[in-house]
């Protein structure tokens, strides 16, 4: 096939782009100053893949998506059943994961994930996104994100537990909370995951999200990443689809036209409760060559 020879471990190839370019070392240093208490919060939902149980269906996900599968290839049960340890008595447990991150887990989108026409972000040919991975704009181009995070806790501002499904967050609603600086990670809380425990059907009945106008407002502020606890940054209708035209589609506005990476399906409840608008945001996708995205565990350092 067409993979080039070994280039693992060599970051910074000519065509590397995106978040890391935005975040110069000076910006990173500045972002670290947002940490004041040192408390660390995980912003990830669990990957619950126990395959012969209904467990995988108990975590919020988009309907019809293939849920994660997690298998133990050797475990404590085998030793209980008489498996012989290694050597003098060393026991090992080992496992495997099958995961399709979009719509199923807390994940980061690569710049090759969505486009319109023949080109992905920055004019790269979409035809280079093939069965054996994207040779342009894959998730491995993102080494990591270390930036100031700014939390837009919209329902809290509005005195709600969560936004209603039809709510499309306006630019004004964001501006009233904070104005991000270039390189910041805009973290948007809708509270929608709280609906899951009440009713899956309600969770699937639509989702609140950013309006196109709010997306453009964030892009104009030159944020590096938009991260949200909903599944698609923009809202979803009852059929699980975005309603916007191509011009207004949030993935096209942010990912395709501005090279702003997206992180979706975060768990923001503890962060929201902490009452902090600024903090250090860190996320590092798996270095999946040619991947359209990666499951990720973002951290907030308060």
> Which residues, numbered 268-287, are part of the site for its own copies (CB under 8 A)?
269-270, 280, 282-287
DSSP assignment string, 173-242 = HHHHH--PPTT-EEEEE--THHHHHH-HHHHTT-B-EE-HHHHHHHHHTT-SEEEESSSSSB-B-TTS--
Q: By the 8 A CB rule, do 268 and 110 touch? A: no
Scan residues 248-267 and list those touching its own copies (CB under 8 A).
249, 251-252, 267
Cα–Cα distances in Å, from 110 out to 41, 245, 252, 302?
A: 24, 22, 12, 26
67 binds its own copies (CB under 8 A): yes
Stretch binding its own copies (CB under 8 A), from 169-177, 183-191, 207-215, 244-252? 244-252
Return d(Cα 45, Cα 248) in angstroms, integer: 28
* 41, 150, 212, 214: residue in contact with its own copies (rule CB under 8 A): 41
User: Which residue, 173 or 215, is less far from its own copies as judged by CB?
Assistant: 215
Return d(Cα 152, Cα 173) in angstroms, integer: 9
CB of 282 to its own copies, least distance (A): 5
CB of 175 to its own copies, least distance (A): 28
99 binds its own copies (CB under 8 A): yes
Binding residues for its own copies, rule CB under 8 A, total: 133
Q: Which two tokens stand for residue 130?
A: 């093939």
CB of 176 to its own copies, least distance (A): 27
Scan residues 110-149 and list those touching its own copies (CB under 8 A).
112-117, 120, 125-134, 140, 143-144, 146
> What are φ and ψ of residue 218, in 5° steps?
-65, -40
Contacts of 78 (CB under 8 A, 6+ apart): none
CB of 171 to its own copies, least distance (A): 23
Mask 185-224, x = binds its own copies (CB under 8 A)?
--------x---x---------------------------
């Amino acid at each position: 096939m067409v993979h080039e020879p070994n280039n693992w471990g060599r970051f910074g190839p000519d065509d590397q782009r995106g978040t890391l370019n935005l975040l110069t070392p000076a910006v990173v240093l500045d972002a670290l100053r947002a940490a004041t208490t040192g408390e660390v919060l995980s912003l990830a939902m669990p990957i619950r893949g126990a395959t012969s149980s209904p467990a995988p269906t108990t975590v919020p996900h988009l309907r019809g998506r293939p849920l994660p599968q997690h298998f133990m290839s050797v475990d404590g049960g085998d030793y209980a059943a008489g498996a012989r340890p290694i050597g003098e008595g060393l026991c090992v447990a080992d496992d495997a994961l099958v995961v399709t991150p979009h719509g199923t887990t807390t994940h980061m989108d690569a710049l090759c994930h969505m486009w319109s026409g023949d080109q992905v972000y920055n004019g790269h040919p979409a035809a280079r996104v093939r069965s054996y991975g994207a040779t342009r704009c894959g998730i491995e181009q993102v080494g990591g994100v270390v930036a100031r995070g700014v939390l837009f806790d919209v329902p809290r501002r509005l005195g709600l537990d969560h936004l209603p499904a039809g709510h499309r967050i306006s630019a004004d609603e964001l501006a009233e909370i904070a104005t991000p600086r270039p390189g910041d990670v805009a973290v948007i809380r809708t509270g929608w995951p709280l609906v899951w425990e009440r009713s899956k059907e309600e969770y699937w009945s639509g989702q609140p999200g950013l309006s196109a106008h709010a997306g453009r407002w964030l892009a104009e502020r030159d944020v590096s990443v938009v991260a949200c606890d909903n599944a698609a940054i923009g809202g979803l209708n009852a059929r699980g689809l975005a309603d916007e035209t191509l011009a207004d589609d949030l993935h096209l506005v942010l990912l395709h036209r501005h090279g702003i990476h997206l992180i979706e399906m975060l768990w923001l409840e503890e962060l929201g409760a902490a009452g902090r608008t600024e903090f250090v945001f860190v996320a590092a996708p798996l270095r999946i060559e040619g991947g359209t995205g990666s499951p990720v565990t973002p951290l907030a350092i308060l």
